[in-house]
Amino acid sequence: MSFESEQHADDYWKENLRLMLTLLVIWFAVSFGCGVLLVDELNAIRLGGFKLGFWFAQQGSIYVFLALIVVYVHKMNQLDRKYNVHEDHEEPEEFEEALEEEFGQ
C-alpha cells in the first residue's frame, strides 16, 4: 500500500469519486440535457445564426467534453500530489540519489 494509512486511501478514493461524479453530471447536462431533452426549449434562444439547442447538440457539447477532460487531468494531478501517490519525481529522485552517492555530495 502506497498510502500512509487506510484512512488516506479511503479519502483519496472518495475525493476522486466526487470529482468524477461532478464532471459526469456536467457531461450529462450538456449533451443529454441541452443537446437532447431540452433542445426544443433552447432552440427558442438564438446564438447568432445558431439556435441554441442545435448549437449544443452539434458544437457546444463537444467543447464542454474537452474542457471536462482538461479539468479532470489538472485536478487529479493535484489530488495525486496531495496524497503523495503521484508518479512524477520517482525517477529523478533515484537519479539524484545515485548522483549523490557517486559524488559524495
Partner 1 sequence: MDIQTLTFLIVGATFALYIAIAIWSRAGSTHDFYVAGGGVNPVANGMATAADWMSAASFISMAGLISFMGYDGAVYLMGWTGGYVLLALCLAPYLRKFGKFTVPAFIGDRYYSNTARTVAVICAVFVCFTYVAGQMRGVGVVFSRFLEVDITTGVIIGMAIVFFYAVLGGMKGITYTQVAQYCVLICAYLVPAIFISIMMTGHVIPQIGFGAELNDGSGTYLLDKLDGLSTELGFAEYTSGTKSTIDVFFITAALMVGTAGLPHVIVRFFTVPKVRDARKSAGWALLFIALLYTTAPAIATFARVNMIDTINGPDAQGTSYEQAPSWISNWESTGLISWEDKNGDGKMFYSGDERNEMKIDRDIMVLANPEIADLPAWVIALVAAGGIAAALSTSAGLLLVISTSISHDLLKRNLMPHITDRQELRYARAASAVAICIAGYLGINPPGFVAQVVAFAFGLAASSFFPAIILGIFSKRMNKEGAIAGMISGITFTALYIIYFKFINPAANTPDNWWFGISPEGIGTLGMILNFVVASAVARFTSDAPKDVQELVANIRFPKGAGEASAH
Which residue in 1, 34, 17 sits closest to 79, CA to CA?
17
Q: Which is nearer to partner 1, 33 or 101 (CB)?
A: 33
Under the binding rule (CB under 8 A), the answer on residue 59 touching partner 1 is yes
Q: Which is nearer to partner 1, 1 or 104 (CB)?
A: 1
Under the binding rule (CB under 8 A), the answer on residue 35 touching partner 1 is yes
Q: Which is nearer to partner 1, 76 or 103 (CB)?
A: 76
